Structure 1
Amino acid sequence: MTDPLAEVVALLQPSARYSKVVSGAGCWRVRRSEFGQPFYCALLEGTSCLTIEGHEPLTLRPDDFVLIPAAHRFTMTSLEPPAAEAHDVPPVALPSGEFRLGAQGMPPDVRLLIGHCAFASPDAALLVSLLPQRVHVRGEKRLAALVQLVGDESRAQRPAREVVLARLVEVLFIEALRSTAGISASPGLLRGLADARLATAIRRMHESPTTAWTIARLAKESALSRSAFFERFNRAVGVAPMEYLLAWRMALAKNLLRQHDMGVAEVAERVGYSSASTFTVAFARHVGVTPTRYAREQAA
């Protein structure tokens, strides 16, 4: 059976850009504006507050894990934050390899593992749009064990450290997405897959992107009326069914064009278009360049 989440993650190609252990004592605050970079944070000890632009503040506790597939502005503070007008002091590198926030020379009252992922796919923005905007997992033993492994590896200076971290972060990324799959997830692919009826339609789109899908056919797969299916899909996934199908077809097309071993006509057929000209028009409208030019730019 096709696994849509696995397919999206495989196309994203997540890897670890960097990770570091940060400890804090007293009052401290960090503000960042890493536009579009996937950000993750795991609480190893203590508590802290995380505020991400467009979301309610989160009080993080031990074993909490937060993943932002496309982080923008965020602020992290001690439980009692500094005054609004207080100057933000950058973290200080310690001999142990940790970074210290707030008061120096005293035992930390919080320890976090933070870092950024990277998506190798040049189509990351489109694929990330299919995922929740924020993933917050609490009390998951499997995830806590992975966080512990990442934390241990980050602190150690073992051979092949970066290779091991890259693999661990990829597994951490997938496990976090799996752990948050449910009707309480923010709109996106995971929430759609948590709805048994919508999941059937989503899997069918992934299994057979070449099928001439319509709202009526997808609604029948889901055993829903057309209006009920459209409304339910839009509410859960955050986009209309045909918009989701187009996004998935374009993601597949980009991946095929990057392989440089098939022509536009063959790619068109593989992603559900009856002719190369129809596909070219749709691709150019969605991506901004023709398939031929896209393939040439990727080769360059």
Structure 2
Amino acid sequence: MARPVQSDLRTRLQEWIPKIVLAPSVASMLIFVYGFIVFTGYLSFTNSRILPTFDLVGWHNYWRLFQLPTWTIAVQNLAIFASLYIAICIAIGLSLAIFLDQKIRGEGLLRPIFLYPMALSFIVTGTAWKWLLDPGIGIEHTLHLWGWESFHFGWIKSSSMAIYTVVIAAVWQSSGFVMAMFLAGLRGIDNEILKAAQMDGASNWNLYRRIIIPQLRPAFLSAFVILAHLAVKSYDLVIALTGGGPGRATELPATFMYSYTFTRNEMGVGAASAVIMLMTIAAIMIPYLYAELKEPK
């Protein structure tokens, strides 16, 4: 009888050990992710200032939020930044993927070079590009030393052009990652279909336009979702590169949320802006997840 009991105990241990090991991580996620999401949502309906309070004020913080000119500027900047960031990253990523898919020499060297920027934090990227774009020490200064005195590139100091420097830095960091996604999609296309189309006389242009690009739809969708998510929550890149300036020229919802919560001591308004950002990301993610789960496997 001892052996069956030991076997039954061993089976139960094998079932429970993974649950016991994962339990702290699951509990931490429920508390520090979803718990704080709920708490932030609650704070957005309170009169919280420098510290949380529990005096409910209804939708007052949301009404105040949409009356603030700073929030309007942040949303407008996000629209410019996100649209350019996503479009340029996808265009460059797809071009690089098609280039590498030609089985060129040195692909093993070029692939990590293109991917390297994604290994850096946005703080490092922002700091490096801040030095490069600074007219006093960066590209403009270097070209002046080389004799090109007429060259001027002071976008980072211009209130009307500074947001585009954030686009430049973000595109530099993320394009290689998008390239990897598209390259994986290209390598997953059935070669027999391509060979059949070539035998029928399809040109390379028609091959990509009618066969290859349409089959990259999942890669396009995934790239869009990931880039849109990164754009909405962009904070560290902006802080390192421009600090939200000059003035409010590069203010984004993430920097607005931080400043109103921790600098201006308007925690209720900051929480409301955080909830709006969460709803924006959810509006992007939920349809994507629904489409992925709905597709037959």
Does TM, scored on the shorter chain, surpass 0.5? Answer: no
Q: TM-score, normalised by structure 2?
A: 0.23
When you count helix as a share of all residues, which structure comes out higher? 2
Name the larger-Rg structure. Answer: 2
